[in-house]
A and B are shown apart, each in its own frame.
Chain A
């Protein structure tokens, strides 16, 4: 991975000098996950809409709120990747699995208390189960 030396023109969502569209990463996780990734520098609050690109999920967060936030991230054109803790993706599995467009890309990540389980990963499940015995005749 290379890091760019030049600033993007006009903030997020605009074209970059690398020929690709400049976007940000969103994160949905528990407080440690979000704090960690914000330490990594991906946090942003949209200048116009005042909406953050992150959501901290705790025991009081309603599933409908998680679902709504995830869908709002999907519809934003300045978000290129959504990082979501796998145990939270499980809560809104229908919505996560229903997304089959190129962008934004979705990546399920482990959380502190819930280890990553490859059998639940939406992308891996789509990638597996391709061949049947007949295909090898």
Chain B
């Protein structure tokens, strides 16, 4: 029983720490993506509203993602992969001489993608910790009920 409680305590501390990390990660993602949006808007002012929109998306057939991910389930991990064979700098969709501010926006979104992967890993970890703790709490609860029952029997 003591070791059960110890395990629950340890996992609870891990869980709370991980929750803190997750919130910090989400905040950073929020800040980075905001920077991306801001620079995108500034680029649109320079380039013209109709020159930075969905109308410029590549007509190339097929469109292939150059930024892919590799996911493993146990242990849960996500890694970014750059597909060099199909690499196509999407900056070119918006003109050969795009303003620096658009490149900066691209960089922010690339950083956001990295942060998104990290956030997904942390999200998964926290849900796993929660499941483990709930499982142990159920065991503890069953144990306590049994202990109570045995004591009542003794008294009678």
B-binding residues in A (CB < 8 A): 1-8, 11-12, 16, 18-25, 31-47, 52-53, 56, 80-81, 83, 102-103, 105, 107, 109-110, 112, 115-116, 118, 121, 123-124, 126-127, 130-131, 135
Contact = CB atoms under 8 A, between A and B. Distances in A.
Interface in B106-156: 106, 108-110, 112-114, 116-120, 123-124, 126-127, 130, 133-134, 137
A53 B65 CA distance: 9
Interface of B: 12, 15, 19, 22-23, 26, 29-30, 33-34, 36-37, 40-41, 52-54, 57-58, 61-73, 76-91, 102, 105-106, 108-110, 112-114, 116-120, 123-124, 126-127, 130, 133-134, 137
A8 B79 CA distance: 13
Contacts of B15: 130
Contacts, number: 184
A43 B78 CA distance: 18
Given A1-B79, A16-B81, A81-B120, A25 B67 contact: yes
A130 B133 contact: yes
Contacts of A115: 30
A51 to B, nearest CB: 11
10 contacts: A4-B80, A19-B70, A23-B68, A35-B53, A40-B110, A44-B62, A44-B63, A121-B26, A123-B127, A127-B127
Nearest to B98: A39
A12 to B, nearest CB: 7
Contacts of B112: 36-37, 40, 109
A45 B117 contact: no
Contacts of B109: 36-37, 39-40
A24 B71 contact: no
B84 to A, nearest CB: 6
Contact of B119 (A107, A110, A118, A126): A107
Top 9 closest pairs, chain A to chain B, by CB: A7-B85, A4-B81, A41-B67, A20-B70, A44-B65, A20-B72, A40-B109, A45-B63, A47-B62
A46 B30 CA distance: 30
Contacts of A123: 123, 126-127
B78 A80 contact: yes
B80 to A, nearest CB: 5
